[in-house]
Amino acid sequence: MATDSTNTAEDLSTSTNASQGMEFSTDAYLDMDLLRFLTCGSVDDGKSTLIGRLLYDSKSIFEDQLEAAESASLSRGDQRMDLALLTDGLRAEREQGITIDVAYRYFATPKRKFIIADCPGHVQYTRNMVTGASTANLALILIDARHGVIEQSRRHSFITSLLRIPHLVVCVNKMDLVEWSEEKYNKIREDFEEFAARFEITDITFIPMSALTGDNVVNRSENMDWYQGPSLLHHLENVHIAGDRDMIDPRFPVQWVIRPQGDEHHDYRGYGGQVASGVFQVGDDVVALPSGMESKIKSIDIGGESFQYASPPQSVSIQLETDIDVSRGDMICRPHNRPISGQDIDAMVVWMAETPMVVGKKYTIRHTSSDARCVIKELRYRMDIDSLHRVEGATDLKLNEIGRVSFRTTKPLFFDPYRQCRATGSFIIVDEQTNNTVGAAMILGETS
Amino acid sequence: MTQTADSNAHYKLTHLKALEAEAIHIMREVAAQFEKPALMFSGGKDSIVMVHLAKKAFRPAKFPFPLLHIDTGHNFPEALDFRDKLCDELGERLIVHKVQDLIDRGIATEDPGPYPSRNRAQIPTLLDAIEKYEFDALFGGARRDEEKARAKERIFSFRDDFGQWDPKNQRPELWNLYNGRHQMGENIRVFPISNWTEMDVWQYIMLENIEIPDLYFSHKRDVVQRRGQLVPVGDAPFEARDGEAIINQTVRFRTVGDMSCTAATDSPASNLEEIVAEVAAARASERGARMDDKTNEAAMEDRKKEGYF
């Protein structure tokens, strides 16, 4: 049954939720922050309807886009407009009625700008979900109130926890089809909390809703007076994300050395990069790795404009007081707060290629701004992502499989555990023959 | 200043500054990972924003790449003047590769029919430039909010040696780690402002006080009504057709492509604040003014597969 995953333009525009409070203000816009979130689910759970409603109610779908989706539905013989046509961008997706790849969608309210990474939900698209999850601050998981917590909900929660998305919102959808039952909602909530206790997810919010009728999407529902929490949009606008960034441990991977050739700036030698974590300040004592040479920060600028501080995820150029040897792939940090330096590394790996990961094979890895070669020493176990059991004795990782892997690198990496810092705790694995990105790794720590 | 330092929780970064930081990171990554990049420059607002971001990424040094303009010969004269003036001020190298030369060599052909578009003829011209100058990476100002196929394209968009995009075989792109490894002859297109919306671009232009061509502001211009759109008319081949009445009207352009495929907007917006307010209230998408996308449902995907940026 997927009757409620379709909608007509008219249904949406006559909805009672039509965007109060979405008036435009330049000042507000210039002061907005950015929330990247992930939606995962399949056609039947109402995800497209939910996204369609968020986009429509925030005036982010234009009439010509709506008309194009409508005429495509009609020419395909659908009775009503399929909102998935707004998000499914590739010919193959439209023809087959499936979502293959992550689609990025954008909308804004006066409080925030949002980037949605809209991911397919089925197990064969785990790698796509992981891709979308890697940059998200928040994950939305949809649960059909009629079916409760299913295998797919568990898998999505596990990936949310594996990628350490700080905030999770469980949307208990289609409440209209269970007579807005508080009892049904509470049962789902209890079931979810029970298995989620096994994951490290610090912030979970549950919202009963109907994306079709709009209850609790933008406005509070009148059909569920037993629910005292916020609507989904209200939650998305207000969830506290400033605390998600690590401001304690300064890490600055050097990407590019800025050295003007002309006479005018011949003394300028800036280290370009994006602050991975922590705060850097002019005058700070710093050390460059791997050389171990120490210096002080002389200046911080962006394209010539000076700043006193730099914090993540700013891209800046840092000059040091003394002329020490620093190049791409090096890391600038504080002398008394350094990342781990090591060549034997354990990580959770999501395999993303048709060709399986082979123990003993050499790959290239890209970590921060650094490249290294590595060899796979050991596959310690594979995770069965449906039962969440560890499978010992596995010999390879196939497409979409997840496991704990021990690596040996040809040179030391400067890293932190992924749980502490996403930017210095993650790397990608590249096949040296095909040049494809074949795996994503989240560092646990040094091999014990 | 976008930051305050009174407590650790207050290093607030606005969404525009977060998008700027992402774009700078991407540009530096390309400079480091590729031998011969170039920045595609059309004189339109998105490519002007790209140049501004390149200044943020590389100044006080010169850009580690030239600007490349694929000149269709159908440009608005105002856009060309702006291009030349900007390049003079920048002191950066500009390479102009002309569609007309490829047509003269018999490699590119103009679309037949009543709309003399050179949109498709840009593809062989671009591929010819890539071959001649051995570019291995090209920056483009495309955004994911523009069009459905673009919504699924990676920031590092890998192309084979015919410049073709294979949407079903895209490299996974995780965190801020970009894999630019490629074989000889292959190249990538890079879209640093993928995650920006039309509104973000306008707001950024306003915030950073970036100069843009006058075409974007309201002005008097000769137009005709054609297929429900206000089409600019001028010298051949852009003259009015039989039965079309020329109207001198106050219009502006929301997007600037070729004269042959960009429609004007009936708008009095004469400054950035007014444009921003107009974009906020708009009910039609920006690419709605591009006649080249209207051909069919998958027009953009098909062109990209052939090597379009």
- pLDDT score of A294: 97
Q: Can you give the CATH number for the domain in which A368 is found?
A: 2.40.30.10
- pLDDT score of A95: 60
The number of domains in chain A is: 3
Point out the domain boundary residue: A333, A355, A382: A333
Mutate to test the interface with B, among A19, A30, A275 (most CBs of B within 10 A): A30
Are residues B168 and A265, on separate chains, in Cβ contact within 8 Å? Answer: no
Chain A CB within 8 Å of residue B283 CB: yes
Helix/strand/coil for A309? strand
Report how many helices (DSSP H) and strands (DSSP E) chain B contains, helices first: 8, 10
Q: Nearest CB to B298: which of A91, A131, A304?
A: A91
Give me the residue label for tokens 């039509």: A18
Same-domain pairing of A202 and A156: yes
Q: CA of B149: which chain A residue's CA is closest? A: A89
- pLDDT score of B7: 43
Q: Can you give the CATH number for the domain in which A70 is found?
A: 3.40.50.300
Q: CA of A101: which chain B residue's CA is closest? A: B152
Query: B170-222: per-residue pLDDT in tens?
Result: 889 999 999 999 888 888 999 999 999 988 999 999 999 999 999 999 999 88
- Domain B8-200+298-306 is found in CATH 3.40.50.620: yes
Q: Nearest CB to B168: which of A65, A100, A279?
A: A100
- pLDDT score of B4: 41
Q: What is the overall mean pLDDT for chain B?
A: 84
Q: CA of A430: which chain B residue's CA is closest? A: B179
Query: B121-172: per-residue pLDDT in tens?
Result: 788 888 899 999 999 999 999 998 887 777 888 999 988 777 778 877 788 9
Q: What torsion, rounded to 10 degrees, do the Cα atoms A399, A400, A404, A409 define?
A: 50
Q: Nearest CB to A105: which of B8, B62, B151?
A: B151
Residues of B in contact with A59 (CB under 8 A): 283
A300 token code pair: 């911080």
A-B C-beta contacts closer than 8 Å: 217
CA-based radius of gyration for chain B:
20
Q: Nearest CB to A435: which of B62, B181, B284?
A: B181
Q: Nearest CB to A304: which of B21, B60, B182?
A: B60
Q: CA of A305: which chain B residue's CA is closest? A: B56
Q: Nearest CB to B14: which of A30, A105, A436?
A: A30
Helix/strand/coil for B81? helix
Q: Where in chain B is the domain with CATH 3.40.50.620?
A: 8-200+298-306
- pLDDT score of B36: 96
A388 token code pair: 């969440």
Q: Which domain holds residue A396?
A: 340-446
Same-domain pairing of A271 and A385: no
Residue A354 C-alpha, separation from nearest chain B C-alpha, in angstroms: 11
Same-domain pairing of A31 and A165: yes
Same-domain pairing of A72 and A165: yes
Residues 59-118 of B with CB under 8 A from A: 59-62
Same-domain pairing of A30 and A178: yes
Q: What ipTM does the predicted assembly reach?
A: 0.89
Query: Is residue B296 scored above 70 in pLDDT?
Result: no
Q: Which residues touch A273 (CB under 8 Å, ≥6 apart)? A: A252, A253, A254, A255, A256, A315, A316, A318, A332, A369, B28
Same-domain pairing of A18 and A35: yes
**CA–CA separation, A236 vs B272, rounded Å?**
29
Same-domain pairing of A353 and A292: no
Q: CA of A329: which chain B residue's CA is closest? A: B32
Same-domain pairing of A255 and A208: no
Give me the residue label for tokens 């399949």: A42
Beta-strand ranges (E) seen in A283-369 are 285-289, 294-302, 305-307, 309-310, 315-320, 331-333, 340-351, 357-358, 362-367
Same-domain pairing of A173 and A99: yes
Residues 32-51 of B with CB under 8 A from A: 32
**CA–CA separation, A290 vs A264, rounded Å?**
31
Same-domain pairing of A392 and A351: yes
**CA–CA separation, A315 vs A307, rounded Å?**
12
Cis peptide before B60 (omega within 30 of 0): yes
**CA–CA separation, A185 vs A433, rounded Å?**
51
Do the Cβ atoms of A374 and A364 come closer than 8 Å?
yes
What one-character DSSP code corresponds to residue B250?
E
- pLDDT score of A18: 35
Are residues B15 and A34, on separate chains, in Cβ contact within 8 Å? Answer: yes
Do the Cβ atoms of A258 and B31 come closer than 8 Å?
no
A121 token code pair: 């939900």
- pLDDT score of A22: 41
Q: CA of B1: which chain A residue's CA is closest? A: A307
Residues of A in contact with B57 (CB under 8 A): 256, 272, 303, 315
Residues 171-200 of B with CB under 8 A from A: 171-177, 179, 181-183, 194-195, 197, 199-200
Q: What percent of chain B has pLDDT over 70?
A: 85
Q: Where are the alpha helices (DSSP H) in A31-108?
A: 47-57, 63-76, 84-87, 91-96
Mutate to test the interface with B, among A269, A314, A316, A355 (most CBs of B within 10 A): A314
Can you give the pLDDT of all 448 residues of chain A as single tens digits? 333 333 444 444 433 333 333 444 556 666 788 999 999 866 667 787 788 878 877 766 666 666 776 677 677 666 555 655 665 555 666 565 556 678 888 888 888 999 999 887 777 888 889 999 999 999 999 999 999 988 888 888 999 999 999 999 999 999 999 999 999 999 999 999 988 888 888 899 999 999 888 899 988 899 999 999 999 999 999 999 877 888 889 999 999 999 998 777 878 999 999 999 999 999 999 999 999 999 999 999 999 899 999 999 999 999 999 989 899 999 999 999 999 999 999 999 999 999 999 999 999 999 999 999 999 999 999 998 877 889 998 889 999 999 999 999 999 999 999 999 999 999 999 999 999 999 999 999 999 8
The total of other beta-carbon atoms located within 10 Å of residue B206's CB is 18
Same-domain pairing of A264 and A411: no
Residue A152's alpha-carbon distances to A56, A75, A158, A160, B156, in angstroms, are 27, 32, 10, 12, 30
pTM: 0.89
Residues of A in contact with B12 (CB under 8 A): 33, 242
Q: CA of A68: which chain B residue's CA is closest? A: B297
Q: Which residues touch A199 (CB under 8 Å, ≥6 apart)? A: A157, A158, A160, A161
Point out the domain boundary residue: A244, A268, A289: A244
Q: Nearest CB to B28: which of A59, A134, A255?
A: A255
Residues of A in contact with B7 (CB under 8 A): none
A253 token code pair: 């991977």
Point out the domain boundary residue: A333, A356, A379: A333
Residue A194 C-alpha, separation from nearest chain B C-alpha, in angstroms: 30
Are residues B55 and A115, on separate chains, in Cβ contact within 8 Å? Answer: no
